[in-house]
Amino acid sequence: MAEKETCFGIPDGYTKAPAFIPPNKDQLKKIAEDLGLQLSQEELNEYREFMLTLEDKYRILDELPEPTLPVKYPRTPGWRPKPEDNPFNGWYWRTDIQGAPSGKLAGKTLGIKDNTAVAGVPMMNGSRVLEGYMPEFDATVVTRILDAGGRILGKTACEDLCFSGTSFTNSKMPILNPYDVSRSAGGSSSGSGALVAGGQIDMALGGDQGGSIRMPAAWCGIVGLKPTWGLVPYTGAIGMHPCVDHMGPMARTVEDCALLLEVIAGYDDGLDPRQVHIPNIVVPEYSKLLTADLKGMKVGMIKEGFAKCDSVVESTIRSAMQYFEEAGATVEETSIGECFVVPILYEGTYETIVNLTSIFGFPGIYPTAMEQAAARGMRTHLNDVSHTLKGVTLVGAYTKQRYNHIHYAKAMNCARLLRKAYDDALAKYDVLVLPTMPFLPTKLLEKGCSVKETLKRVQDMLIGKPQFNITHHPALSINAGFANGLPVGLMIVGKHFDEVTVLKAAYGFEKKRDEK
């Protein structure tokens, strides 16, 4: 007699190892005690009987094939580059994946930051926590790049779980600055910045939760854009906290940055909860809307952006304002208050990548194998992560236990005031500008440096950038010139979803700069 099938096509009566194993009586008793529940033995027995009934309800999930993201183009697993074939230590892994035979990115070579999944290619997010994991899917942005004819040459090295801007916390090796290999390349998209600046690839993907595209763009002398929150889908990438996760393009020119943005931007059919507010957005052809004529554009130079600036950086930025004026824009100084954003970054990161609790509650793709690999890695390799991640773990665990993350909640509320302050300023100006980094690229710290040295360097790197991850305004870094032979970055900030104006301002600035 033929087997009867369920509505999902699973044969009735089919059995295999259970997906859900209820706790025994002793385990359940300890769970109750840890929760502070005062239960009698009879009550515990009855709760366990209830849990026994869940086994079949969980089992059906074990039989269903999970929907996942597509893999459309053939590739091999690639290879780990030898030191002599790894300029600036910028590559984590090399591969060669050719996309469609034609498209906007035909002839362009790219690197993918190693927090972003490329199917069949090793991925470790800069950390021993994820080492050994190999994604079975391509992130949405990777598919879009390949569909546009791009050629992916590898995974670019990044900081340990992306929580640093220093370029020395990667578990394998520090990433070196192309202008001075004794100095930091910035981070956490360190390898992307170094390899683009060093001419190894045309473009790269970066991720930005507190400046991680803009810092390496500034210190490597290239263009890097953190788009408006949600414009570029984060589907298939490892985040630090959904409300600050951004992914964006890095390139040597504004035109290439705009071209990559128009390929990767746009709605992802409900798979990314960061995009709940953009289902009907139309992505313009940014690269075709660029103009060097900035006549009539109003540029507001943020006074607070210079508060902790080194004198050589300040003088370079102020001198560079002439490029806006020569392109036809007017430049005025303006003032905007600040908001305390550290609780959002630290406590949000703890819950997302250490405690792994922010995966609940949204419709979309859940990369279960990635989540399981991360959970295993956190259990076995937490002692191997950087001083930065250990600091975040201690802060997050304490603030959760002692304060129930109330400071995080208050900071999120205050972020609305900060967002309004920038919205009000951008009602007066087309774009706002400030130094991307208040100081020149710093010397790399020695291996085995103290906790104090590491945490101070990390804190210094956060000046002037994370507020735009919280307010979600687009922010681009472009090279403003050089001081002592090292790049100085200028940050250009615009209205939400007005990347066109930000890119126009950067393009006009770039053209006048290059005339000098």
What residues are labeled active site? Answer: 113, 188, 212
**29 HSE (CA, 13 A, CB side):** 7
Amino acid in the structure at residue 186: G
Tokens of 5: 């099938």
DSSP letter at 353 equals: I
Q: Establish how many alpha carbons lie within 13 A of residue 109's alpha carbon, considering only the half-sphere containing its beta carbon.
A: 14
How far apart CA 111 and CA 126 sit, in angstroms, is 15
Cα dihedral across residues 323, 329, 332, 333: positive or negative: negative
Contact by Cβ (8 Å): 485, 271: no
The residue type found at 458 is V
Considering only CA atoms, which of 319, 339, 311 is closest in space to residue 419?
339
- End-to-end CA separation in angstroms for the chain: 84
Q: Determine the Cα–Cα distance for residues 412 and 422; give it in Å rounded to an integer.
A: 16
Residue 272 structure tokens: 């990314």
- Round to whole Å and give the CA distance between 514 and 494: 23
Strand blocks (E) in 423-474 = 431-435
Contact assessment for residue 137 and residue 235, using Cβ atoms and an 8 Å cutoff? no
**C-alpha Rg value of the chain to the nearest Å:** 24
Region for 157 from its dihedrals, namely left if φ exceeds 0, alpha if ψ lies in -120 to 50, beta otherwise: beta
Write phi, then psi, for 296 (nearest 5 degrees).
Answer: 90, -10
Q: Is the dihedral of CA 40, 41, 42, 48 positive or negative?
A: positive
Q: Which residues of 228-267 are buried (b: 16+ CB within 10 A; e: fewer)?
A: bbbbbbbbbbbbbbbbbbbbbbbbbbbbbbbbbbbbbbbb
Asked whether the CA dihedral 433, 316, 225, 160 is positive or negative, the reply is negative
Report d(CA 152, CA 99) in Å as an integer. 8
| Host H or E run for residue 480 | strand 475-483
How deeply is 189 buried, as exposed, middle or buried, from its count of CB atoms within 10 A (0-12, 13-18, 19+)?
buried
Three-state DSSP at 248 gives strand
